Structure formats: C-alpha cells, structure tokens
A = this chain, B = another copy of it.
Amino acid sequence: MKQHGLVVAVVGATGAVGREMVSILEESSLNVAELIPLASERSRGEHIEFKGESVEVEVLEEDSFAGVDLALFSAGGAVSKKFAPLAVAAGCTVVDNTSAFRMDPNVPLVIPEVNAEALKGHHGLISNPNCSTIQMVVALEPLHRCFGLKRVVCSTYQSASGAGQRALDELRDQTVDILNFKEPKHEKFPRILAFDIIPQIGSFYEDGISEEERKMIQEPRKIMGLPDLQVSATCARVPVFICHAVSVNAEFEKDVDLEQARDALRAFPGVKLFDGENPYATARDVSGENDVYVGRLRRDPCRKNALDFWVVADNLRKGAALNSVQIAEALVQADILSFKRN
C-alpha cells in the first residue's frame, strides 16, 4: 500500500457505471492521489469532475497503465479481455466489472460482505459479479448462514441502465414517441422497452437460457462457495431507468424461522430490511443509495424450508461501481492491493 496516495484509472469513465465509479471514488476511503479517466475515441475531449477538478478523459491505449496502481474496468467484455491483462502486466491491480474473467478459476469473484477472503493470493485481476447476482447474493448469504441454501428460483425486473448510458436515453425517447403517437425506435434493446417487458437480456444459448440468466445461475455458486447450488433464473428488462428488482424463492436444508431470518438480514452489512407496515422499497426509494433493500420477506406458502422475498438495489452502485470500489477498499485494508507478478 502506497503511503502517498493511489493512481487510479477508470476504464469506461464516461459510461453509466464509469460515472458512478468516479463519484463513489470521491466518497471512498481510498486515498486517490490521481484519477485517470479512460474511454474510447468517441469520448475524446470530454471532461470528468473529480474532487472539484475537471479532469480530461484520455483515450485508452495499450500503455495507459504505466504507473497506475488500480484500474476499475467497465467498458464491455471485449475491452477487458484485451486491456486488463496489459494493465496487470504493467503491475496494476484490476477490478473488472465485465463478465470476461468471472468464471476463470484463477480470478476471484468477490462481494466483500460475502467472500472477501477470496481476495487473498490474487494475481492482479479480480472480477466484480453481475449486477442482479450481487444484490441477490447479498440477501441470500445471511439466510444461507442460518439455514443452508439449496435451491433458488428467481425472476428479475432489470432497469434500462444495465444496458448503459445510451439505453437510458433510448427508454426516454421511446416513451416520448409513444405518448406523441410516433413510432418508437430501438437499438440498445432487442425490442421496444417503453410500456413493455422484454424477457431477454443478452443472447440465448442453445438450451434456451440467456447470457444474463447463465450469470445468475453460475456466479452465486462461485461467490458463495456452493458448487451444487441449484439456480433457475428468468431475466427480464423493465421500463425503469435505474435499480434492478429480483423476486426470489429460496429453499434451504433446514426449516426456516422467520424471526431468525429477519434478524440475520438486519445484522448483515449492506442490507436494509423493509418489514412490518412498510414491507418493501421500490426504485424511487433506492436509486442513488448504496444498500441492498430486502422486502416482502415471507414463508413459502407450501414449504417449511423455503422463503420468498423481493430485493431492490441501485444496479449502477452496489450492482457495479460501489462493489468494485469496495473490492479495492478491501484489498487496501488487507494490504494486498499490490501483487506478485507470476
């Protein structure tokens, strides 16, 4: 850990997640001496505000990482696949918010509240999990510690911002077109999203499962250390700007005790339980917030060993930028930000 502050690069600094990364870095416990916002040619000349100063965005190049201590990547899988290894080779520690390396057995996949210990012995590259997966696993982990998680059936309600900054504009433009009796257009989504639901996020594999669903099936196993965990996921895009919601049915080894479940959720870092008279939060409550909001907690009506609940979180923050910064904070706290090159 450097005593005189860190040089931190944000790759994809002008994107929806990148902007949140910069804003969260300002609030974080990391001692950032210099911020280097990196982006594609398209963002050349743009400026980013950081700690009251205007910093010019640099175009990402192969040699962008010389002297950089930490790089947060969120510019798509292809960019990470090409540039993250170059950054690591230059001695920079990378926290990657794309799916490029998540299932690589040599790359820790980390939610600090859940499995910070997986960071030990990293090789310079750490993956940030999928957005919906993070908020679901943060809610599942305390329940798993009580009752032993066996199976999850979940359906998501994912906001437009998960598809990036321009997807937000597309949802707004489509909405205005429809209200003005114009034919809406789509480019970032496979269909018109305004006033509709699209049960597709990413492409489909041969078995009919979408890319997003595959992430929600595989990633919890790795993060929670439960290789046999059964997950069935259906992922849908909804006409909401920011915040994902997930409807979860979770089955456990043991019969559940509702009071114990509530206590475990309340005690878990980063979780806010909505209960009693006010049994759920929505995107309007949660947008811009850091916590994972659990509500509608109840016993499965037919199984003593199962719970139903509803999870909402800001997908750009805990689902992406915040978790990436928290990973970096955990590395610094454990004094393992720098690593031995192999």
**A interface list, Cβ under 8 A from B:** 151, 153, 155, 157, 172, 175-176, 179, 191-192, 195-200, 204, 207-209, 217, 230-232, 234, 236, 238-241, 245, 247, 249, 279-280, 282-284, 295-303, 306, 308, 310
Q: Which residues of B contact A245 (CB under 8 A)?
A: 197, 199, 236
9 more contacts with CB within 8 A, not counting A175-B179, A198-B282, A207-B301, are A155-B155, A157-B238, A176-B179, A196-B283, A197-B238, A199-B247, A200-B280, A208-B298, A234-B296
In the assembly, how many copies of this chain are there? 2
Task: Establish whether residues A283 and B195, one from each chain, have CB atoms under 8 Å apart when the complex forms.
Answer: yes
Q: Which residues of B contact A247 (CB under 8 A)?
A: 155, 199, 234, 236, 247
Q: Which residue of B lies closest to A229 (CB)?
A: B302
Q: Which residue of B lies closest to A207 (CB)?
A: B298
| A294 → chain B closest CB, angstroms | 11
**10 residue pairs from A and B, CB less than 8 Å apart:** A151-B302, A197-B283, A199-B245, A199-B295, A199-B296, A204-B279, A217-B301, A230-B302, A234-B296, A234-B308
Specify which of A191, A197, A208, A231 lies most central, judged by the most chain B CB atoms within 10 Å of its CB.
A197
Task: Establish whether residues B296 and A196, one from each chain, have CB atoms under 8 Å apart when the complex forms.
Answer: no
Q: Which residues of B contact A282 (CB under 8 A)?
A: 191, 196-199
Given A196-B283, A283-B195: A207 in contact with B238 (beta carbons within 8 A): no
Q: Give the distance in Å from the alpha carbon of A234 to the alpha carbon of B298 in the complex.
A: 11
3 closest A-B pairs by CB: A208-B298, A230-B302, A155-B155
Q: Which residues of B contact A197 (CB under 8 A)?
A: 157, 238, 240, 245, 282-283
Q: Give the distance in Å from the alpha carbon of A191 to the alpha carbon of B249 in the complex.
A: 24
**Contact pick for A284, options B192, B283, B310, CB 8 Å:** B192
Given A197-B283, A236-B157, A240-B197: A209 in contact with B301 (beta carbons within 8 A): yes
Q: Which residues of B contact A303 (CB under 8 A)?
A: 230, 232
Given A196-B283, A280-B200: A299 in contact with B207 (beta carbons within 8 A): yes
Q: Give the distance in Å from the alpha carbon of A157 to the alpha carbon of B240 in the complex.
A: 13
